[in-house]
Amino acid sequence: MTLQVDPARAALLLLDYQNYNVHPEGYWARAVPGSAERAAPAVARTAEVLAAARRTAITVMHVQNAWREGHPDVNPYTPWQAAAKEADRSTEGTWGIEFVEALSPVEGELVVRKRAVSGFAGTELERLLRVHDLSTLVIAGIVTNFAAEGTARDASDRGYRVIVLADCCESVTEEMHQFSITQILPAMAEVVNAADFIEWASAR
Amino acid sequence: MTLQVDPARAALLLLDYQNYNVHPEGYWARAVPGSAERAAPAVARTAEVLAAARRTAITVMHVQNAWREGHPDVNPYTPWQAAAKEADRSTEGTWGIEFVEALSPVEGELVVRKRAVSGFAGTELERLLRVHDLSTLVIAGIVTNFAAEGTARDASDRGYRVIVLADCCESVTEEMHQFSITQILPAMAEVVNAADFIEWASAR
Amino acid sequence: MTLQVDPARAALLLLDYQNYNVHPEGYWARAVPGSAERAAPAVARTAEVLAAARRTAITVMHVQNAWREGHPDVNPYTPWQAAAKEADRSTEGTWGIEFVEALSPVEGELVVRKRAVSGFAGTELERLLRVHDLSTLVIAGIVTNFAAEGTARDASDRGYRVIVLADCCESVTEEMHQFSITQILPAMAEVVNAADFIEWASAR
Amino acid sequence: MTLQVDPARAALLLLDYQNYNVHPEGYWARAVPGSAERAAPAVARTAEVLAAARRTAITVMHVQNAWREGHPDVNPYTPWQAAAKEADRSTEGTWGIEFVEALSPVEGELVVRKRAVSGFAGTELERLLRVHDLSTLVIAGIVTNFAAEGTARDASDRGYRVIVLADCCESVTEEMHQFSITQILPAMAEVVNAADFIEWASAR
C-alpha cells in the first residue's frame, strides 16, 4: 500500500513505549515472563519508523502513562487501573514510566501524559493537535488492543484520519493482536506496516 | 454475581437498538441475512431489563445513531462511516434510525443522538450525566465490539463506573462478541448478565 | 483592518439568533421591552455577512439553543438555566427556538443544537469542525457577553483562531457589549466588524 | 449568605496563584507596577480559605498555568498566549510558575497543569472531578475575568454547581473585577465571599 500523507498535517503518535511495559527489567517483564521479548520486534520497528519520521520533519508526539504518587488519579472502578494502584506501579518520577531508550523523545518533540487508555482521555492531546493544525494520526503503541486501538477509536470518533502501523504494535498474545488488527481497526483506520511508512518517508 | 448499584447515581444506557440495526426489515438484516435473528434474543433480554429499570426508577437513556441528510457529519476517513454515506443509510427522519419498537423510549427518558461509535463522541452525554449527577453506567448495546465496548472504554477512561450487561449485547459473530466480553471488557467494567440486573432491580 | 482568512479552513458561526432572543414577539422582547429593537441592527448586519459568506462558499454553521420539553437538560445550579426552566421557555419544537427569518439556515448549512452558553459545551461542534477541517471561527452572536464571548473563549482555549464580528453581536446594554468587545475579546480574538468581513468576501 | 455544601462532593479550586502572577518579584509585578500589591489582599483571604478547607477535609485542587520550554503549546492566534511566548515567560521548571508560598499545595492535594484560560481546557480536571465524584466547584483565582470567570463559565456549561469566592479573586482594575462579579458570574454561579466559606467550614 502506498501511503499518501501530508507531513505538515500529520503526527506520528507513539503510545506507552515505556520501561514498565517493554523493558526486560520492567514491571510487565517480571509479571509476565516473555513479554519483553515478545514486544522487542515492535520496539525495533518503531525505532526505524521514528528515525524516518525525524528525517521527514513530521511532528512526533510521545504519549506516556503515569499516575501521581499514591494513585489518586486512577479510576477506582476500572479493574486494570485499580490493579496498578494495588501494585503501586508506574508512578511519576520513577524509572518505569520513562520511555524505553530506543524510543526516547528528543528536543522539540511533544510528550503528553495520560492516566487512562486512550491518548485523548483527560489529556491535552486534542488541543495540541489543534494548535499544530494536525488532522492525521499515525499510531504505533503497546498494547495493540488498549493504548493503540483505544486511541485509534477515539481519534476516529473525534473526526481525525487514523493510520495504524500494525507491526509497530504488539499485544499479550498473537490472537489478541490479530483480533484488533483484522477485526476492529480496519473499520476506523488505514492499517499498514512500518515498511509502508518508511517508504513514504523515504520518497519525500 | 450480586450487583450493588445506587439507583440515584446510575443510568441504564441503551445503544443503537434501532431499526436499521436489528429490525428484520432493517438495513443490516438485508445486507447480512440472519443478523436480525441473531440479535433478537439480546433485544428480548434488553426489553426485560428496560422494564425492570422502569419499575426501579433508575434513569434510562437511549443513544441513537443518525446522520444528517447527505451525510455531512461522517468522518470521511473512517471506513464504516464512509460506507454508511455511500449506502445513503441511517439519516435523520427515516424509519431506520428509530428505536426498535420493543425498546422505544417513553416520556421522560432521555434520547441522545450520536454520529460515531462511542456514546460520548461529539454528544451531550457527559453533560447530561453530570446534570443528573450520574456516575455509574449500565450498558446494553449493539454491536458489542463497537457501540457497547466503545462506550464502555470511553466511560472508563473518563472516570465512570461501568457495568456491561453481556447478554444484552450482540455482535456480528459469536467469536467477536466473546472476544469483547472475555478479553477486553473485564479490564474496564463489571461484566454481568440481564438476570443480575433484574435480580438487583427486583430486590429494591 | 484587512482580514486574511483561508475560506477552506474557516466557518462563519452564528449563535442564538433565534426568535426568543431577537424577534419583536419573542420571549425577551416581552420580558425586556426594547430589546428586539436594540438587537435589530446587529441582525441586519449579520444578514449582510451571511449573504457575503454564501457568495464566498465559506462554511456556515448555525448554533441554536433549546431544551427538551420539561427542561431535564438544564443545569439546575446555573441561575440563567434554572430561570429558563421556571419560565418554561425555549423548548424544542416551539416557534421561539427557530432562527429569526433573516438568518435562517439554507440547505447544506449545518445546525448545531446546544443547551448551555458556549457553542462547544456538550455539542458536536468540535467534531464537525474537525470533520470539515476548519480551524478558524468567525463569530457573530447574541448576546455578546454570553453566547458570543463564551464561544470565543472556548474556541481560543481549544486552539482555534477566533475572529469576532463586533457589530454582529449585541448585548443587554451598551456598557456590557463594549466591555466584552474592548476588555475581554481582544485578548483571545481578532475583533473586526461586518464591513471587514464583507470586504474580504468581496475581494475573493 | 449561608452556604450549603456537601464537603464530600465539593472541591476548592485555586487558579493561577503563581509567582509570575502575584509575587512582588514576579513577571506581572514588574510589567505592571502595583499589581502584586493589588492582589495581596485576595492572596491573604484565599490563604484563610485554604486553611479552613484543610480543616474540613474538603478536596483541594490547585490549577497552574505553564508552557513547555519554547512555547510549542500556546495557541499562536490567541494574543495573550502569543505575547507570553514573545516574552518567553511562565515556562515549566521556572520559579515563576510555582505557586506563591502562602498558597502552596501540601501532600495529597491535586495539582492540575493548564495551558489556556479555563481550568478545563485541555486538562485532566474533568476526569479528576469524576474520579473523585465531585460535583461542586468552589472557585478562587486570579485574574477574576480570565482564569476564575473562564473556569466558572466552563464548569457551569458542563453541568457543575459553581460557587465563586468573590474576594478571593482580583483583576487588573477594580472596574474589571466588579464587572465579572456583578454582571457575569451571578448568571452562572453563587457568588459569595471568603467569610461565607470560612463560616461554613467552621460550622462543620
Beta bridge partners of B161: B136
* Number of other CB atoms surrounding residue B41 within 10 Å: 12
- How confident is the model at residue D19, as a pLDDT? 98
Question: Residue D1 has what pLDDT?
Answer: 65
Distance from CA of D74 to the nearest CA of A (A): 7
* Angstrom distance (rounded) from CA C145 to CA C127: 24
Instruction: Render pLDDT for A51-63 as a digit per residue (tens, 0 to 9).
Output: 999 999 899 999 9
Determine the pLDDT at residue D204: 84
Question: Given a cut of 80, is residue B1 above it in pLDDT?
Answer: no
Assess contact for B117 and A149: CB atoms under 8 A. no
A75 to chain D, any CB pair closer than 8 A? The answer is yes
Cell numbers given for D182: 456583578
The ipTM is 0.97
Q: Rounded to whole angstroms, what are the CA distances from C149 to C143, C177, C190, D150?
A: 8, 10, 12, 10
User: What is the average pLDDT across C120-126?
Assistant: 98
Interatomic CA distance for residues C114 and C122, integer angstroms: 7
Instruction: Quote the pLDDT of residue B11.
Output: 98
CA C91 – CA D97 distance, rounded (Å): 46
Q: What is the distance between the alpha carbons of residues B56 and B33, in angstroms, rounded to a whole number?
A: 37
Mean pLDDT for C164-177 is 97
Which whole number is the average pLDDT over A167-189?
98
Contact B154 A154 (CB under 8 A): yes
Spatial separation of the C-alpha atoms in residues C29 and B147, rounded to whole Å: 44
Say what the pLDDT of residue B22 is. Answer: 97
How deeply is B204 buried, as exposed, middle or buried, from its count of CB atoms within 10 A (0-12, 13-18, 19+)?
Answer: exposed
Question: What 3-state DSSP class applies to A28?
Answer: helix
For the cut 80, the answer to whether the pLDDT of residue B196 exceeds it is: yes
A165 at D interface, C-beta within 8 A: no
Answer whether A115 sits within 8 Å of D124, measured CB to CB. Answer: yes
Of chain B, the percentage scoring pLDDT greater than 90 comes to 98
Residue C2 confidence class, pLDDT cut points 50, 70, 90:
confident
| Alpha carbon distances (Å) from B115 to A68, B68, B96 | 35, 9, 14
Task: Work out the pLDDT band at C147, boundaries 50, 70, 90.
Answer: very high
Chain C residues with beta carbon closer than 8 angstroms to that of A158: 126-127, 130
SS3 D26: coil
Does the pTM of the predicted model rise above 0.95?
yes
Q: Write the CB contacts of A182 (distance below 8 Å, at least 6 apart in sequence).
A: none
Per-residue pLDDT, C1: 65
pLDDT at residue B204 greater than cutoff 90: no
Cα–Cα distance, C88 to C105 (Å, whole number): 26
Residue in chain D closest to B128 (alpha carbons) equals D159
In angstroms, the CA C102 to CA C89 distance is 22
> B188 vs A80: CB contact, 8 Å cut-off?
yes
Contact: A78, B162; criterion CB under 8 Å? yes
Partners for B (CB, 8 Å, 3+ pairs)?
A: A, C, D
Chain C residues lying within 8 Å of D136, measured CB to CB: 77
| Contact state of B127 with D160 under an 8 Å Cβ cutoff | no
**pLDDT reported for residue C204:** 84
Question: Would the CB atoms of C160 and D75 count as touching at under 8 Å?
Answer: yes
d(CA B107, CA B109): 6
User: How far does B111 lie from chain A, in Å, by closest CA?
Assistant: 19
> C160 at the D interface (CB within 8 A)?
yes
By Cβ distance, the residue of C72, C74, C110 closest to B72 is C110
Subunits adjacent to chain D (3 or more Cβ pairs under 8 Å): A, B, C
Element (H, E) at C137: strand C136-141
Q: With beta carbons under 8 A apart, name residues in chain C contacting B73.
A: 110, 124, 127-128, 131
* Residues in chain C closer than 8 A to B122 (CB atoms): 123-124, 126-128
The CA distances from residue A83 to A86, B160, B187, in Å, are 5, 16, 10
Asked if the model's pLDDT at residue B2 lies above 90, the reply is no
Give the pLDDT score at D128: 98
Element (H, E) at A112: strand A110-114
Residues of A whose CB is below 8 A from D124 = 73, 115, 122-123
| Tens digit of each residue's pLDDT (9 = 90 or more) over B121-170 | 999 999 999 999 999 999 999 999 999 999 999 999 999 999 999 999 99
**Which of B133, B135, B158 comes nearest D127 by C-beta?**
B158
D-chain residue closest to C157, CA distance: D116
When computed from its CA atoms, the radius of gyration of chain B, rounded to whole angstroms, is 16
Query: CA B16, CA B13: separation in Å to the nearest integer?
Result: 10
Residues of chain A with Cβ-Cβ distance to B71 below 8 Å are: none
Closest chain D residue by Cα to residue C137: D77
CA distance B103 to B45: 10
- Is C121 close to D158, i.e. CB distance below 8 A? yes
Q: How far is B74 from chain C (nearest CA, A)?
A: 7
Confidence category of residue A137, pLDDT binned at 50, 70, 90: very high
C-alpha–C-alpha distance, residues B71 and B90, integer Å: 9
- Write out chain D's pLDDT in tens, 204 residues: 689 999 999 999 999 999 999 999 999 999 999 999 999 999 999 999 999 999 998 999 999 999 999 999 999 999 999 999 999 999 999 999 999 999 999 999 999 999 999 999 999 999 999 999 999 999 999 999 999 999 999 999 999 999 999 999 999 999 999 999 999 999 999 999 999 999 999 998
pLDDT of residue D2: 87
Span C147-176, mean pLDDT?
98
Contact (Cβ atoms closer than 8 angstroms) between residue B157 and residue A118: yes
Please report residues of A whose CB lies closer than 8 A to that of D78: none
Contact A158 C133 (CB under 8 A): no
What proportion of chain A, given as a percentage, has pLDDT over 90?
98
Give ∠ CA B64-B66-B70 in degrees, rounded to 5: 175
pLDDT in tens, A76-118: 999 999 999 999 999 999 999 999 999 999 999 999 999 999 9
Which strand (E) or helix (H) includes residue D154?
helix D149-158
Whether C123 has its CB under 8 Å from any CB of chain D: the answer is: no
**How far apart are the CA of A25 and the nearest CA of chain C, in angstroms?**
39
Whether residue A1 is predicted with pLDDT greater than 80 in this model: the reply is no
- Taking chain B, what is the end-to-end CA distance rounded to the nearest angstrom? 16
Look up residue C128 and give its three cell numbers.
Answer: 464537525
CA triple D187-D189-D192, angle to 5 deg: 120
For residue C47, is pLDDT > 70?
yes
For B177, half-sphere exposure in the C-beta direction (CA atoms, 13 angstrom radius) is 18
Among the partner residues D80, D179, D189, nearest to C188 by beta-carbon distance: D80
The CA R_g of chain C, rounded to the nearest whole Å, is 16
Longest dimension (CA), chain B: 48
Subunit contact D122:A122, Cβ cutoff 8 A: no
> Is A131 in Cβ contact with D126 (below 8 Å)?
no
C130: distance to nearest CA of chain A, Å?
5
Residues in B closer than 8 angstroms to A186, CB to CB, are 79
